[in-house]
Amino acid sequence: MITKIILAILALVAAPLLGALITGVDRRITAWLQSRYGPPILQPIYDVLKLLGKEPMVTNTWQALCAYVYIVGAALSVVLLFTGSDLLLIFFVLTVGAVFLVMGALASPSPYSQIGGQRELLQMLAYEPLLILVFAAIAMVTGSFKVSAVFEQTRPLLYDLPLMYIVLGYALTIKLRKSPFDISASAHAHQELVRGVYTEYSGPFLAMIEIAHWYEVILVLGLCALFWSTSVVGMVVLVAVTYLAEIIVDNVTARLTWRFMLKSAVGMGLVLTLVNMLWLYAQ
């Protein structure tokens, strides 16, 4: 019980900081790939501190509520992951945040916010089934949906579920809205979308959303780490390689349409899942 509480507090405090650092590194590597110098590693934190100091402005009071519920959902799902709770439960709590983010966007009549909200729903429609399938596959191997059961495995999940790891990667690219799936919102303003779901959030509320995003980065990388649960070094290497791959994909691809995203996510997700399951049965 005590360890769980310590882990929970660690998750609450350390996760966003780590997430900020990773985002900072992401920006540096992206800059390097684009032959720029790039901002300091701590820039995301400076950005958020500056946002927090600004006067709150909204177009609709519900947006303030939605921004805060979004961060609560994101933080709580990281806490659940760190305390070894249930994978599906983590997923559902994550959905709470995602749903409120969209509701906040839909609450504003701005066309960019509206289209961002609608597209974010499509992103959710694409990644949610994939995540559930990945969790179900993990449960096939460990016999339980509990995160703690993963750590009782004697060999890394990646051996049994290599294809599911690809499915997870696909889902995570959509979840983190990395290119080519930065359909509902992009890291920087683009003219056809402005900032999609984020368009109407500003000041401290945007800061909340940024911090929530850091939590989500950690959650996502934590889920990746589960695939090499047997050693800490293995986890770090797997996560680092995966994130590096994400950054490269982010930089070399252009935004795709939501139709392509939906069809490819469902099609590829189902095929890879079925093949992986057959392989698991054959073993």
Partner 1 sequence: MLDTLVFVTVLLPFLVAAVLLVLREQNVRKVILVATAGVLALASLAMLRGGAFIMSPAPLYDTLITLGDFVILFVVLFVGIKRKNQIIIWLSVAQIIGLIILDFFMVKEHGNIPAFFADDLSLVMVLIISIVGSLIAVYGIGYMKEHEEHLHLTKSKQPQFFFFIVLFLGAMNGLVLANNLLWMYFFWECTTLCSFMLIGHDDTEIARKNAERALWMNVLGGTAFLFGIILLQKVVGTLSLQEILARGPEFAVAGGAILVPMFLLVFAGMTKAAQAPFQSWLTGAMVAPTPVSALLHSSTMVKAGVYIIVRLAPVYAGTYFSNFVALFGAFVFLATACLAAGQSNGKKILAYSTISNLALIIACAGINTPAAITAAILLILFHAISKALMFLCVGAIEQKIGSRDIEDMRGLFAVMPRTALVAIIGIMTMMLPPFGMLMAKWMAIESAHGQFLLMIMLALGSGVTVLFWCRWAGLMLGTPVAKAKPEAQDITVRAPLYILAGLALVVSFFSPVVYNSLVAPVVKMYYKAAPYALPYGNFDSPVGIFLVYPLFLLLGLGFYFALKQARKVTAAQCSQPYMCGEQQTVDGKPGFLGPLGLHVPVQSGNYYLEQFFGETMLSKWINVIALAVLVIMLFGGAL
| Contact with partner 1 (CB under 8 A) among 23, 114, 173, 186 | 114
Question: Least distance from C-beta 33 to partner 1, angstroms?
Answer: 30
Structure tokens at 100: 């409120």
Cα distances (angstroms) measured from residue 256 to each of 48, 106, 131, 158, 182: 29, 23, 21, 29, 8
Straight-line distance from the first to the last Cα atom of the chain, in angstroms, rounded to the nearest whole number: 38
Cβ(220)–Cβ(165) under 8 Å?
no
Our finding on whether 16 is near partner 1 (CB under 8 A) is no
184 scored as a contact of partner 1 (CB under 8 A): no
Nearer to partner 1, 100 or 243 (CB): 100
Q: Which residue has the tokens 């945007």?
A: 206
Q: Cα-Cα-Cα-Cα dihedral of 164, 168, 173, 174, to 10°?
A: 100
Residue 158 in contact with residue 134, Cβ under 8 Å?
A: no
128 binds partner 1 (CB under 8 A): yes
**Residue from 10, 18, 52, 140 in contact with partner 1 (CB under 8 A):** 140
Answer left, alpha or beta for residue 196, where phi above 0 means left and psi between -120 and 50 means alpha: left
Residue of the chain from 52, 129, 141, 255 that contacts partner 1 (CB under 8 A): 129
Q: Write down the least CB distance from residue 85 to partner 1, Å.
A: 6
Q: Tell me the window of 21-29, 43-51, 93-101, 154-162 that interacts with partner 1 (CB under 8 A).
A: 93-101
CB closer to partner 1, 144 vs 253: 144
Dig out the tokens for 78 from the structure.
Answer: 């990281």
Three-state DSSP at 146 gives: strand
> Is residue 214 a contact point for partner 1 (CB under 8 A)?
no
| Interacting residues toward partner 1 by CB under 8 A | 55-62, 64-69, 72-73, 76, 79-80, 85-89, 92-93, 95-96, 99, 102-115, 117-118, 121-122, 124-125, 128-129, 132-133, 136, 139-140, 143-146, 194, 199-200, 262, 266, 270, 273-274, 277
